[in-house]
Amino acid sequence: MMFVDRRAFREWPLLLAALFAIIWAAVRASVQSITMDEADTYFWFVAPSNVWRFFPNNHVLNSLLMWLSTRAFGISSLALRAPAILGAILYIVTCLFLCRRVTDRLSIQIPVLICLIYNPLIFDYMVAARGYGLADAFLLLAIAVPVWHSVRRRLSLCQSCALASLALGLAFAASFAFAFVLLAAFLAITAWAIWRRDGESIARIVAFCALPGLFIVLLICGYPLAHWTRDDLTWGAHSLREMRQSLVQSSLYRLDPQFHDTAWYRAVSYLRPLLPPALAILCLCQLVVTTIDGSWLRDPRARWLAKFASALAGIVTLSVLLHWLAFRFANLLLPVGRTGIFFVPLITLLAGAIAAAPARSLVSQWLRRGIIAVLLCLACYFLLCLRLSYFKEYSWDADAKEVYSVLATYNRTYGVTDIGIFDLYAPALNYYRLLSNSQTFPELKSAPPNPAPGKSIYVMSQVNQRNFIDQEKLVVVYRGRYSDTVIAVKPGGPIPGAPFGH
């Protein structure tokens, strides 16, 4: 008689979800167009070996790893995004470990893991050559170290503290925007270590929690931080409400538009804004009910889960408070969108921990079912948001690869070299110009707000530059598949006014 290992069978859905995410991220990194910030990172910091320069666009650890990958493998899009892919693998493995540790209920593990990984905001930065994905991965790794220590005990307490500290230091090196949440995580980890010290001196524990991370920060970020200027920090939100809305909108952006005219698309679009507040309300109610009925004190595992959820809640709360105080008294703008990306996995893990709490009363059991139902809805929504063509924050560059191909064809066919570039298109197009190493037109430069009239060919946004198109009587010969980017030509010029390819 054959026996089926049920535990192994239960692991397969989680492993498949994690493996597919890694494959999907690698495919996206290969096929998606390079964006403005990615190209600027390469041209400003990586190509000239100026990775230590302080600038908000320079995520130092990402730039350093990009420098290594491009020297080793050339300047392909996959090489530029290799650090982000490494961060994605680390993030996914850490999320898998945490989901399995928080609960053994598959009905909670699967939606929480999907929400952690497939959230569009999170997934975009597991691919884009920026530091946010790396920082998220190291932040969760630092939080996972105390959990791992409690389960495995393969390292001493001081060694675990040092490992968590190194992870926090690398997260800061990946993105300075994580400074406050990393401070909150450091305090939580230090408090945990002091509580578990078992005869170790407090000074020794604090040293192991602080010094390895500080060493990493000084080694990698010492020079950039020494040249930090306040004038460089201009991106952010002006209220907590704006900060929250930016995270929600980026996380729920967006379903595949090819289903735009279907009934279920309209239904999901109606439910979408209701899911985050529903999850928040249900979690708060569950906290109140389970505290009253004593579910958190039911057994040692429940008590551990209560401490883990309290630590996550403390990190989130302290992070918000520190950002608000810096905004209120130092005029430092609040996180917005990608600069607040760290809130998303922390809150998702917190919701998962609350859902995993033992439910002793009938009310708490129904509340748990409600939380799981909302998490499942969010997980399904995120899966329906999977895309291969663009990043939400850089949607205007979604067609950059194809736009460059069109320009190169016109250059070879008609010898056109006077190209007008609008707004934010130049960096990505110059990357493809460098990658091709075969074009005869010079480096492309934008001239905001508008390039000079009289150019033979223009790259622009059809929406934003509609007046310029009408004023110059330009003929559109190419329209982007994923963005409103168009290529337009001067009537009567060297390029025929027929659509490209005709």
pTM: 0.93
Query: Which residue, among 481, 446, 491, 441, has the nearest Cα to 465 in the 3D structure?
Result: 446
Long-range contacts of 424-427 (CB under 8 A, 24+ apart): 424/36, 424/396, 424/397, 425/36, 425/396, 425/397, 425/400, 425/459, 425/460, 425/485, 427/36, 427/37, 427/39, 427/40, 427/43
**Over the stretch 424-434, which tens digit does the pLDDT of each residue have?**
899 999 999 99
Q: In degrees rounded to 5, what are phi and psi of residue 380?
A: -65, -40
Dihedral angle sign, alpha carbons of residues 397, 402, 408, 410: negative
- Distance of CA 233 to CAs 54, 176, 191, 237, Å? 11, 11, 32, 12
pLDDT computed for residue 153 by the predictor? 75
Residue 29 DSSP SS3: helix
C-alpha R_g of the chain: 25
Question: Tokens in use for 489?
Answer: 């030509």
Query: Which residue, among 150, 135, 475, 151, has the nearest Cα to 339 in the 3D structure?
Result: 135
Residue 443 DSSP SS3: coil
Q: How confident is the model at residue 9 (pLDDT cuts 50, 70, 90)?
A: low
Give dist(CA 32, CA 27) in Å, integer. Answer: 8
Question: Tokens in use for 282?
Answer: 């249900």
Say which DSSP state 231 is in.
G
Question: Tokens in use for 479?
Answer: 């329209």
Strand boundaries in 370-436, DSSP class E: 419-421
The answer to whether the CB of 30 falls within 8 A of the CB of 51 is no
Give dist(CA 75, CA 79) in Å, integer. Answer: 6
**Over the stretch 457-481, which tens digit does the pLDDT of each residue have?**
999 998 888 888 888 889 999 999 9
Does the pLDDT of residue 2 top 50, yes or no? no
pLDDT computed for residue 8 by the predictor? 57
pLDDT computed for residue 299 by the predictor? 80
Q: Please report, for the chain, the start and end positions of each structural domain, with discontinuous segments joined by +.
A: 6-385, 395-489
Residue 487 DSSP SS3: strand
**Over the stretch 159-216, which tens digit does the pLDDT of each residue have?**
999 999 999 999 999 999 999 999 999 999 999 999 988 878 899 999 999 999 999 9
The answer to whether the CB of 380 falls within 8 A of the CB of 374 is no
